[in-house]
Amino acid sequence: MTPDELPLPRAVLWDYDGTLVDTQPIWIEVEQELVARHGGTWTTGQAHAAIGLGGAEASTLLAEAIGDPALTPAAVEQLRAHGVAERVRAEGVTPRPGVAALMDRLADAGIRCALHTASPQHVVQPGLDRLPQTWFAAVVTGDQLTRDKPDPEGYLLAASRLGVAAADCLVIEDSDAGAESGRRAGAAVLAVPSVARLTPHPGQVIRPSLEGLDIAELGRIYREAFASR
C-alpha cells in the first residue's frame, strides 16, 4: 500500500537502547571502564561510532582499542554484555522522554508494537522486566539473528511476528546503523537522537524527541518518510 492508502502504520517497531530506554550512557561507561582496565583508551567518538552496531562488530572495535591479542572480541563481548546487564539489574532503566505517553496513544489507536535490539536476550531482559509487559507483542533480540544491524533481518523478523509487512511499519531508532536497518527492511523510519548525532537520509524523518508526539503527527511522519524516498 502507499502512505495515502495507509495513513497510519500498521505497527511500530522499536529499538531498545537509547530509543526506548536511556541505556546508551551505561554502555559507554562500561566500555570505557573495560578498555581502561586493560590500559587502553575508548574515546567518546569511538563509543558513538559503535552505537547501534551488533555485539560482534562493536566488540571487535573494543578489542582493537584494548590491543591485547589474548583478549578476543568474543571475550570482550562477554565482559561488555555482563557489565551492562549487571548495571541495569542493579539500577533499573528509565524510559526515554515521551515513550510512555506514546505507548498509551498507540494502544488506544490499536497500533501494535514490536521490539528489535542488537543486544542479546540476557542483557535486555533485566530492563524489559521493569517495563509494562503490555507494550510489546513481539521481541527480537540479537542472539536470535544471523546478521546484525544495519542488516534488515531483525526488523523483517519483528514485522513478520506481528503478521504485517515491514513496508507498513514505522521504525523508531536512535542510531545511524539502526535507522539504516529499518530503511533496508522497507519501513519508514523516525530517527530520534540519544547521545550520537544522526545523519539525514531519504526514507526517514529526524525528530529531536518523542515528547508531545501524538497519533496524528505519527501518521504525518510515516507518510513524510515514505514520500522522501
Question: How remote is the C-alpha of 177 from its chain's centroid?
Answer: 9
Is 17 annotated as catalytic?
A: yes
In a 3-state reduction of DSSP, which class is residue 29? helix
Question: How far lies 4's CA from each of 8, 43, 94, 167, in Å?
Answer: 9, 45, 36, 13
Peptide bond into 150 cis (omega under 30): yes
Question: What single DSSP character describes residue 112?
Answer: E
Is 68 annotated as catalytic?
A: no
In a 3-state reduction of DSSP, which class is residue 35? helix
Q: Which of 15, 151, 168, 174 is catalytic?
A: 15
Could you list the beta-strand ranges (E) of 7-160: 11-14, 112-116, 138-140
Distance CA 62, CA 13 (A): 29
Q: Which of 17, 148, 174, 176 is catalytic?
A: 17
Query: What are the residue numbers of the active site?
Result: 15, 17
